[in-house]
Chain A
Amino acid sequence: MKRRDFVAAGTIAVMMAFGAAPAQAADPVKVGFVFVGPVGDFGWTYQHNQGRLAIEETFGDRVETTFIESVSGADAERVIEQLARTGHDLIFTTSFGYMEPTIRVAERFPDVKFEHATGFRRADNVATYNARFHEGRYILGQIAAEMSETGVIGYIGAFPIPEVTAGMNAYVLGAQSVNPDIELRVVYVNAWFDPARETDAARALMDQGADVIAQHVDSPAAMQTAADRGVYGFGQASDMIDFAPDTLLTSIVNNWTDYYLTRVQAVLDGTWEPSDTWGGLAADMIRMAPYTNMPADVAERAAATEEAIRSGELNPFTCPIFAQDGSEVPCEGDGVLSDEQVLGMNFFVRGIADRLPN
């Protein structure tokens, strides 16, 4: 709390200094960021901050950026409002939990433009953006099935929510494309961030025979634990290779930079619209870290799958998709599941033995 107040106080001080100085040329566009974690988390927030740094580098003195880190959901509205009040033109709020606060502040500041990550509520001055993480997870599943010797692969989930379920389904479908009999073991830690419990979860999965571990939680703890036993794993959000140099196969790396540059440019050009962006590999919003610690042919096939998804030739959720009980899932897209079906996914595909709570 102290730190944030410091940052906020610093922000105000800087703004007052700028306000007092005689305006030269056009005023810079002020861009604000609200982060859910510390910028040094080597995961979710770290990647968003990379985008902020790129804005500063690209636009130079035509922009000014501010960020406030480790903002809890309860504090979000006050923090967002403070940014809006202090003359920011464009404000990125980068956590699902900021959805309602963003909408409420946006109603009070119709001239300020807002961008909310991973949410679904939009307004005349609120855009949303998200990434198709499940595209990367399909590739991970394929690699996992090729690398597994036991035929048992493990998955550490945060919470049984649609985003995690969609990623898990894509992972299994990718694995089944190589080995239809692959067995997936799932453990939820019921937290986004609890390194010690993520460690326990990785151990439990390995003790039950899983020899490749994927994760949908935010710390690198599981990858490090897997590395201790020489078990393969996949990183999340940023490249976690430093935590498991000899066993990490690849990571799904979130790339918000291009999107942020486009949106700031749109504000500079006066062409900003409250759009909804949901990009994957093709839009370069997710990238695959180098394919390491695997035979060349496995890496080649992974790269080929990546290219097929990027070109639109392959969709992880191509119909027919069968739910866990064997029933066919209605196909509401064009030969694939629709975006709404993926965003609200509340079923497991065939081959996952675990059950979703009702």
Chain B
Amino acid sequence: MTTFEAILFTVVMASTPLLIAAIGELVAERAGVLNLGVEGMMAMGAVSAFVGAFLFQSTWIGIGFGMLAGGLMAALFAVAVLGFAANQVGAGLALTILGLGLSGVIGAPFVGERLPTTPRLEIPYLSDLPILGSALFSQDIFVYLSLLLVAGVAWFLMGTRAGLRLRSVGENHGSAHSLGLPVLKVRFMAVVFGGLCAGLAGAYLSLVYTRFWAPNMTAGRGWIAVALVVFAAWRPGWALVGAYIFGTATVLQLHAQAAQFGLPSQFLSAVPYLATIIALVILSARRGSSGVGAPGSLGQPFVPDR
């Protein structure tokens, strides 16, 4: 593997958890629910996946546990903001704090334990392609899942009737309701989908990235995912672009430090954020007036009998 291929390989790894979490949050927000609890759901996903994988010695069971934990956290959030029409920003922040704290308690007996390596899934022939082959086609299962997820969500939102319903619920819940769409049911499913994705992203961190559990190991990645959704203008394809720009800049700044270009490390650490913002601002500026903004009903509670 050349240095270039090695960098590409690491870029894909660094981008994947951000992409998975962002795509889940994107679906929830398209349905009109702003869930700021991604960081907490990711932390719960990370710890549950580790506990599951450790106890049953199976990566698959770990993934299941992680997604389940993220989904349950999201369901809890949904009960508060959909069932009781609680403030979404407040409930989301509470979910983050709850998730970070609870994951520490659950994980306490497992600090210092380790997992065996997750087997890579080499796709025959394709992984032998020059340059991109090893970076894209000899990764672990999560990477393929994340790419399928983006394609699936894009197709669902833009190409299916159910996706159209979800978007209309997010754009104007009053009109959707008067057309007979089950607003709260659609939102509940979208929020839970977001939780499953956040749990999966957390599972990636504890099962593949580090292979051990440590409190606060998500280290702000959930917040980056939330920001990516906004900068991607709620479009799955741009979320992919944004996540990969962020991942690329993260890895490249470490290489720039190691190669000793003499730039201050504090500046280089800020580069991923700068690069992502600039790239996505340019993207959305080119879109002109015809593009989409935030979903019209984003963040507003819906009380049906009002």
- Interface residue ranges, A against B (CB under 8 Å): 1-3, 37-38, 40-42, 70, 154, 160, 185-191, 193-197, 199-201, 203-205, 207-208, 210, 219-221, 224, 228, 242-243, 353-355, 357
Contact = CB atoms under 8 A, between A and B. Distances in A.
Given A38-B111, A40-B108, A207-B10, A353 B3 contact: no
A210 B101 CA distance: 37
Contacts of B255: 204, 207-208
B84 interface: no
Contacts of B205: 195-196
B219 interface: yes
A186 B268 CA distance: 13
B210 A197 contact: no
B210 A207 contact: no
Contacts of A357: 264-267
Contacts of B219: 191, 193-197
28 contacts: A2-B101, A38-B108, A40-B108, A40-B111, A41-B111, A41-B215, A42-B112, A160-B266, A185-B259, A186-B258, A187-B254, A190-B269, A195-B209, A195-B210, A195-B212, A197-B219, A200-B254, A203-B251, A204-B10, A207-B3, A208-B258, A219-B214, A224-B114, A224-B211, A228-B117, A355-B262, A357-B265, A357-B267
B59 interface: no
A243 to B, nearest CB: 7
Query: Closest 7 interchain pairs by CB?
Result: A357-B264, A204-B254, A188-B265, A40-B111, A207-B6, A194-B219, A195-B210
A94 B6 CA distance: 40
B10 A41 contact: no
A187 B268 CA distance: 10
A355 B267 CA distance: 13
Interface of B: 3, 6-7, 10, 14, 17, 97, 101, 104-105, 108, 111-112, 114, 117, 205, 209-212, 214-217, 219, 221, 250-251, 254-255, 257-260, 262, 264-267, 269
B221 to A, nearest CB: 7
B203 to A, nearest CB: 13
B105 A186 contact: no
B10 A3 contact: no
A190 B112 contact: no
B260 A195 contact: no
Contacts of B258: 154, 185-187, 204-205, 208, 210
A70 B215 contact: yes
Nearest to B97: A1
Nearest to A188: B265
Nearest to A206: B6
Contacts of B215: 37-38, 41, 70
A194 B250 CA distance: 13
Contacts of B3: 207-208
Nearest to B4: A207
B91 to A, nearest CB: 18
Nearest to A4: B101
Given A1-B101, A187-B257, A203-B10, 4 more contacts: A160-B266, A204-B10, A208-B3, A242-B114
Given A2-B101, A194-B219, A220-B212, A208 B259 contact: yes
A149 to B, nearest CB: 17
A228 B209 CA distance: 12
Contacts of B251: 200, 203-204
Nearest to B113: A242
Contacts of B104: 3, 38, 70
Contact of B216 (A187, A193, A220): A193
A195 B254 contact: no
Given A187-B254, A207-B7, A243 B212 contact: yes
Contacts of A185: 258-260
